Structure 1
Amino acid sequence: MDNQQGNAAGFGAGRLLEARLAVSFLFFMNGAIFASWVSRIPLIQQELGLSHAVLGAALLCVAAGAVVTMPLVGILNGRFGSERLCLFWVVPFSAALPLLALCPDVVTLGAALFFFGCGHGALDVAMNAQGVVVERGHGKPVMSSMHAMFSFGGLLGAGFGIVMAWLGWPPLWHFTLVSVLLGGSALFGCRYLLQGQDRHDAAEGGGFVLPPKALVPLGIVAVAVLLGEGAMADWTGVFLHKTLGATEAFAAAGFAAFSVAMTVGRFSGDWLVAKLGAVPLVRISGLLAAAGMVLAVGTSWPWASLVGFGLVGAGCSTVVPCVFSAAGRMPGVRTGVALASVTTMGYLGFLIGPPLIGFVAQGIGLRGALGLLIGTSVLVALLAGTLRERRG
């Protein structure tokens, strides 16, 4: 079977629905587990006595782990199939969460975060590869709804973390509960993933193959949009509080507005792709995000800025699912390798976004630094044509 042109033909509608629900739960689990960790970072920082700089260095280990495993999983996908890789990586990723609460110092925390990042990145590539298979079988856009489940999982994971902190549960109890419930459920759900649809004969070779140059513009789009997402996570509250003088409580609503708009946008994304097409939708999304940033940083009114951050979230919401779908359809390159390449580039953008904004803000102020995201959003709109489907 030629897996480049293969699809999920032969599976009934019920089987496809089972697979879609199963992979959607993997997206939800990935987002919820990651958000569970993020929700308890302040307490763990306090318990270990870490400065902001030391904590920041430790958090880089998450990205380092992800960058190591993302290309590896892309290579292995053609040999073992995304369904097997999803099943394998559910265990270390969910098991790594309680380990983060057992670290006595920053060295062990860094090692645990590296392991956590390995699982997070590997599962990210594997579940997106399975998502491409499921979307191909449906014959219509469904990737955006899967990414919506990641965002939804992040919102619920963060909210549950707030409740656990309010109840006084220690991170170990909290993380163990989340790990067992979500990890166990995901293991059960993996049995419903589509099997063999993105696996290649071992005789084809499983070594590293450079992706085509056509993937580079897709990677740039991923970098541009995820750079903005990373910056929104770290700097919306600071901008509202320090620059516009909003209260700390109001400032916390900045990222919430961005996140809620992104979740809603992703749940409607499949319908929008079907109605408009990926290229027009990404072009509109880039311009919407740019307009949102203009409003957010160009006003002195916190409420207007809050609306602007919401528009940025809506604009960013459908871009990454569309990029991943386009990468998965790229002729002449295996699905796993294509997704690993684009995902790794995008993740690096997510990583460099926050420190880049901070560095630039030292020279031109936070308002000007966040204004750079207007340019990256326009770049997304300009490169929207690279998502046009190609024929092998």
Structure 2
Amino acid sequence: MALTRARTSTFAFFALNGFVLGMWVVHIPEILDRTGADKAQLGYLLLLMGGTALVGMQVGGRWIDKLGSRPVTVTAGLILSAALIGPALATSVTALAAALAVLGAANGIVDVAQNAQAVEVERAYRRPIISAFHAFFSLGGLAASLVGGLLIAADTDIRLTLGGAAVLGVAVTLVARPGLMRSQPVAPTRADIKRAPWTARVILLSLLAFVLLLSEGVAYDWSTVHLHDSLGASKTVAAWAFGAFSVTMTVVRLLADRIVGRIGAAAYVQRAALVGGAGLLGAALAPNPTTAIVAWAVFGIGLAGCVPQFFSAAGNIDPAASGTYLARVTGTGYLGLLAGPAVIGILTNWVSLTTAFTVPIIGCVLAGLLAPRALRRPA
């Protein structure tokens, strides 16, 4: 019963994280109008938010090893929820920058803390369950797009909308808190620090998380552009590419744990990453929008359950340093998520968009080839 409650509570935090970030994303256009920020400034603001998230991940990892994942998850969840009000109240670019810095840092801490809690719950279950947690993050984002879209259509004041979402987030955090697992933190010592080195396996896990999240980032920012600019699809049809990718990502994350339980994480990622690479190659070579949409859906099928396996492996390298290792792998992966769209954009100065897709395709192939070594079970 307690284990079921822990799993349900962790689901709630992943969904909350996706919902909070989704509510920010769907209101970006209105927030830009309120603050007077242009698209170039938005780029810098998103970079600032990503930078503070990376810092939050590293700080959160150390706190988790010292205090346990439960108090860090709850505290960061409360701060993240409350921080959602900041962008709604901002009336200048400076105020928005300050609000996003706080939102990004809180999100970084929540990200690593909820994954640490997920690893602990999975360890207690003694079977793969981590992909399902990430599916709830996707479901939270989907809920935000639906709720946020309806409220925007109803011309609801953004301060009321994000304020209500913040109150909901605080309520969910407090309700879910009692069910979280209590870990037994160990005060960090010099011996602990020495016990958490950047080993070859940690580096490999981090690099593979980087290339696969880089690929995921490409889907977020370039799938619709690909259909619209390269294949001449309307903006409405172009949006279906990302929709197809998102749906398959969510559905497969709900199913991936069962497959991993049967064939193992290494075999799963080995096959799935290659499927992802084949899907993106199909999108790059697609002769029409319909074929491209199917290919982007296949890309989502391939990527969906891969990265959670790297997080699980990192959290199980050494339970006494779970937060530190998770922070390293999630932080490096997050860099890939940020870098992916930028890398493709830079490459399009010299080659076509579909040719630039070669970078994530190669990344998927490398992940498939190297997954057995990265996800091997230590003796």
Instruction: Give the alignment's TM-score, normalised by structure 1.
Output: 0.93
Identity of aligned pairs, percent? 34
**1:303 aligned to 2:290?**
yes
SS of aligned partner of 1:101: helix
**Which residue pairs with 1:377 in the alignment?**
364
**Which residue pairs with 1:200 in the alignment?**
186
Root-mean-square deviation over aligned CA pairs: 1.5
**1:387 aligned to 2:375?**
yes
Equivalent residues of 2:265, 2:309 under 8 A apart: yes
1:340-364: CA deviations, max 9, x gaps? 0000000000011111110001110
Equivalent residues of 2:85, 2:163 under 8 A apart: yes
**1:123 aligned to 2:130?**
no
Letter in 2 for 1:200: V
Deviation at 1:50, TM superposition (A): 2.3
Letter in 2 for 1:281: Y
SS of aligned partner of 2:287: coil
1:276-300: CA deviations, max 9, x gaps? 1101110111111011011101012
Equivalent residues of 1:90, 1:123 under 8 A apart: yes
Q: Distance in 2 between matches of 1:97 and 1:207?
A: 35
SS of aligned partner of 1:362: coil
1:218-271: CA deviations, max 9, x gaps? 001100111011111111111111111001101111111111100001000110
Instruction: Give the alignment's TM-score, normalised by structure 2.
Output: 0.96
Deviation at 1:207, TM superposition (A): 6.2
**Aligned structure 1 segments of 4 or more residues deviating by more than 3 angstroms:** 201-211
Deviation at 1:174, TM superposition (A): 1.1
Structure 1 residues 348 and 203: alpha-carbon distance in aligned structure 2, compared to 1, 3 A threshold: closer
Structure 1 residues 204 and 15: alpha-carbon distance in aligned structure 2, compared to 1, 3 A threshold: farther
Deviation at 1:34, TM superposition (A): 0.3
SS of aligned partner of 1:309: helix
Name the count of aligned residue pairs. Answer: 377
Pick one of 212, 222, 231 that aligns with 1:225: 212
Pick one of 269, 293, 297 that aligns with 1:282: 269
Structure 1 residues 114 and 207: alpha-carbon distance in aligned structure 2, compared to 1, 3 A threshold: farther
**1:49 aligned to 2:36?**
yes
Equivalent residues of 2:78, 2:169 under 8 A apart: no
Q: Distance in 2 between matches of 1:372 and 1:280?
A: 23
**Which residue pairs with 2:154 in the alignment?**
167
Deviation at 1:204, TM superposition (A): 6.9
Deviation at 1:47, TM superposition (A): 2.8
Equivalent residues of 1:212, 1:333 under 8 A apart: no
Pick one of 134, 158, 168 that aligns with 1:181: 168
**1:114 aligned to 2:101?**
yes
Deviation at 1:205, TM superposition (A): 7.1
Instruction: Give the gaps of 5 or more residues in structure 1.
Output: 1-13
1:144-186: CA deviations, max 9, x gaps? 1111101111111112111111111122111111111122112
Instruction: Give the gaps of 5 or more residues in structure 2.
Output: none
Deviation at 1:213, TM superposition (A): 2.9
Q: Distance in 1 between matches of 2:244 and 2:320?
A: 38
> After superposition, where does 1:1-392 map in structure 2 within 5 Å?
14-197=1-184, 199-201=185-187, 209-331=196-318, 334-385=321-372, 386-391=374-379
